[in-house]
Amino acid sequence: MRSYKFKWRLWMICLICGLATGTVSAQDLRFSQWFNSPLTTNPANTGFIPDADYRIGANYRNQWINVMSVPYKTISIFGDAQVFRERIENGWVGLGGVVLRDVAGSGNLTSTKIYGSLAYHQMLGYASLLSAGFNVGWANKRIDPTRLKFPDQFNQATGFFDAGIPTNVVFNSTSTSYVDIQAGMNYAYFPTENLYVNGGFSVHHLNRPKETFFAENGFDNRLSPRYIGFLNASIKMNDQVILNPMAYYTTQAAASELVGGLGANYNLSGDGEIQVLGGLYYRVSESIIPLIGFQWKNFRMSFTYDITTSSLSTYNNAKGAIEFSLLKQGFYNEYNGSIRQSLCPRF
pLDDT at residue 291 in the model = 98
Residue 76 located in a structural domain:
yes
Instruction: Give the Cα separation of 85 and 53 in Å (integer).
Output: 10
344 domain-assigned:
no
- The vertex-62 CA angle with 186 and 223, nearest 5°, equals 50
Does 336 fall in a domain? no
Tell me which amino acid residue 162 is. D
**Measured between alpha carbons, how far is 239 from 345 in angstroms, rounded to an integer?**
10
pLDDT at 334: 59
Give the bridge partners for 278, in sequence order. 264, 292
Is 32:49 a contact under the CB 8 Å cutoff? Answer: no
Count of domains for the chain: 1
Q: What per-residue confidence (pLDDT) applies to 279?
A: 98
Contact 43, 117 (CB under 8 A): yes
What local confidence, expressed as pLDDT, does residue 9 receive? Answer: 43
CA separation for the pair 149, 164 (Å, rounded) = 10
pLDDT in tens, the chain (347 residues): 434 444 444 444 444 344 433 333 445 788 999 999 999 999 999 999 998 999 999 999 998 766 666 678 999 999 999 999 889 999 999 999 999 999 887 678 899 999 999 999 999 999 999 999 999 999 999 988 877 777 777 777 787 777 777 787 878 888 999 999 999 999 999 999 999 999 999 999 999 999 988 877 777 889 999 999 999 999 999 999 999 999 999 999 989 999 999 999 999 998 999 999 999 999 999 999 999 999 999 999 999 999 999 887 777 777 789 999 999 999 987 554 445 667 889 88
Say whether 8 sits in a helix, a strand or coil: helix
Task: Give SS3 for 249.
Answer: strand
The residues pairing with 60 across neighbouring beta strands, listed in sequence order, are 75, 324
Sign of CA dihedral 123, 125, 126, 128: negative
* Angle, CA 51 vertex, CA 344 and CA 100 arms, to 5°: 110
Domain-embedded: residue 314: yes
Containing structural domain, residue 239: 2-330
- Does any domain span residue 347? no
- Domain of residue 40, CATH code: 2.40.160.40
φ, ψ of residue 158 in degrees (nearest 5)? -95, -20
CA angle 224, 230, 234 (to 5 degrees): 160
CA dihedral 143, 311, 257, 60 (to 10 degrees): -50
Q: Hey, is 147 helix, strand or coil?
A: helix
Q: Taking Cα atoms as reference points, which of 347, 342, 193 lies closest to residue 270?
A: 347
3-state secondary structure (DSSP) of residue 315: helix
Q: Which of 285, 290, 244 is nearest to 266 (CA)?
A: 244
Residues found in the chain: 347
Does residue 303 form part of some domain?
A: yes
Q: Is residue 228 part of a domain?
A: yes
Whether the CB-CB separation of 232 and 246 falls below 8 Å is answered with yes
Closest-CA residue to 121 (of 183, 55, 187): 187
Within-domain flag for 340: no
